[in-house]
A and B are shown apart, each in its own frame.
Chain A
Amino acid sequence: MSPLTTRSRSLAWGLSLLLALAPAALRAQAPPPPSADGSTPEGIQVPKPPFSEGIFPCTNCHDGKTVKLNTQRRQLKDMHEDIVLKHGPASRWCLDCHDAKDRDKLHLVSGEKIDFTVSYRLCGQCHGDKYRDWRVGVHGKRTGYWNGQKQYLLCVNCHNPHSPHFRPLKPLPPPTPPQLIQGTKGGSR
């Protein structure tokens, strides 16, 4: 698995879209490989990072002209005010992770800029044990083939990076208790 370029990544997206649109009957015959929306440089199949609708690329606004760079720590008022940061120490803020100069990237502590698709490297800086487990497929979710190609979920697919606690879910209905399981249909259906 050779590292894929940005172009071939978009090709992969296009392919997966085609597969998604393929007739159901076709899929029933031979299940397609898991649709990976993207692939990391090291070849890990990952889905698209869960951006809010129409928010990416960030440089649409953060192009250095429309919105001026402001490195001042502050309460955001005009935009992104819905983001509640509940992640780590109170002093943490946007530009600790988002790169100030290239808004379509994140950066590590080292200053290395990384794509959103490899955000796990960023998470892994602090959550080393989880990162290690994720890489071997123990933490987080994998789909696809147990003996072949797998699709990983990114950390951020389950954990909102701004508020990473796993969101509670509405459980699906409980089973019917045995005393309520009755032959209601009067026999054979």
Chain B
Amino acid sequence: MATLRTFGRFLLDTLRILVRGNRTYFIWVGFLLALIALGAWAYIGQLHQGLIATHMRDQVSWGFYIGNFTFLVGVAAASIMLVIPAYIYDWEPIKEITILGEMLAISALIMCLGFVMVDIGRPDRFWHIMPFVGRLNWPHSLLAWDVLVLNTYLLLNCFVVTYLLYCAYTEKHYVKNLVLPLVLLSIPVAVSIHTVTAYLYNGLAARPFWNSAILAPKFLASAFCSGPAILLILLQILRKTTKLRITDAAIFKVAELMAYTMGFNLFLTAAEAFKEFYSNTEHVVYSQYLYFGLKGHNTLVPFAWASVLCGLAAFLLFLVPRTRTNWITLNIGCVLIYSSVYIEKGMGLIIPGLTPDTLGEIYVYRPSVTEVLVAAGIFAIGFLVFTLLLKAAVPMMLGEFTHRKNGGASDHPEAPIPITTH
């Protein structure tokens, strides 16, 4: 009972942190809220008109939304990149930033679910896909699997993050026998969300571009570059703006791991390209459309090569110790990796998978204004969730904000709340 009361206070106090902050914080949150409002407005238009408000059509039936979904599943999965060394090898420098990775995963997953929701034609029938309530076509449908693993991963991360923060708040050491199994469980689940998402495309014999066994490993490799790329930049911002201590060693270690995964990712890309272009079967048209254009349609070509070149440049930057440990080149590398994977796992995966369509027709898909605005809104939701999580978590992690020192992180400390006896 007492625990429950403390937990209630924990939630209340968390809320209290969230509504306080400096000017930058409010401008940032306000900006995100404005973007969300814009996205919501565009989405209402889409609901009213139907998905005809997008530029998806029968020929290209998935587009920008599902592209972003796929990319963000990778970001979510990548948090294990940090969890594995932290918990298995007990590698201290990374350990404290693991919780950041998990919060990133939560935000990414929320965006994933958002992108799926805006993509479906009948969001009012969402309950049909809910286990037990609706009728989940499990185990046949990979989308049913995806629903299960994504939600499991989301719940797992939510629980671990909440529990760790709650422990910090109550100034108790977390129960290792509880956290460790959950964290260990989250590793296969993280791998599974990305594998299942890859299989979702992989299993479609109708789409030769996706129907390649290399897809799932490639998903994992690219995810392990893009997720940490976002995190590395965030870590640097946090170091500057908060009292959070993140060592250089931790950052450089992550960057080194990224170099290997990026190298592997590039190797897989090359393997795929070799197979397609050398064997030169009728299935080569999709890769042709992506890299060289087909029948005069070459919208994707500059993006495809930008992705390859960015990946290559970032790989070199992260491979060479001097450029990896140089803050400027490190950050350039992060941006390059992010761009590379965003193109590759987003539009660069979905669009050539569907173009030419199954009857050979080429429909040049470009996202509509509605799609861009709705996507911006969903990204804003993700960033907002992450911002709020960070806002609450950082002072708790620093021990500045506990049940005794409530408000210690804020500018105006309040009278301490009496300590509850456990």
Contact = CB atoms under 8 A, between A and B. Distances in A.
Interface stretch (B50-58, B180-188, B267-275): B50-58
A179 B48 CA distance: 20
Interface in A161-189: 177-179, 181-183, 186-188
B109 to A, nearest CB: 31
B372 interface: no
B368 to A, nearest CB: 10
Nearest to A183: B52
A177 B361 CA distance: 10
B264 interface: no
A183 B53 contact: yes
Interface residues of A, number: 9
Interface size class of B (residues with CB under 8 A): 10 to 19
A179 B363 contact: yes
Nearest to B60: A178
Interface string B345-366: 0000000000000000001100
Contacts of A179: 57, 363-364
B49 interface: yes
B58 to A, nearest CB: 7
B339 interface: no
A187 B49 contact: yes
Contacts of A182: 52
A150 B310 CA distance: 67
Given A178-B363, A179-B363, A186 B58 contact: no
A187 B59 contact: no
Interface in B52-100: 52-53, 57-60
A178 B50 contact: no
B59 A178 contact: yes
Given A179-B363, A183-B53, 19 more contacts: A177-B363, A178-B57, A178-B58, A178-B59, A178-B60, A179-B57, A179-B364, A181-B52, A181-B57, A182-B52, A183-B49, A183-B50, A183-B52, A186-B49, A187-B48, A187-B49, A187-B50, A188-B49, A188-B50
Which 9 pairs of residues, A with B, have the shortest CB-CB distance? A178-B57, A183-B52, A178-B363, A187-B49, A183-B49, A187-B48, A178-B59, A181-B57, A183-B53
Interface of B: 48-50, 52-53, 57-60, 363-364
23 contacts: A177-B363, A178-B57, A178-B58, A178-B59, A178-B60, A178-B363, A179-B57, A179-B363, A179-B364, A181-B52, A181-B57, A182-B52, A183-B49, A183-B50, A183-B52, A183-B53, A186-B49, A187-B48, A187-B49, A187-B50, A188-B48, A188-B49, A188-B50
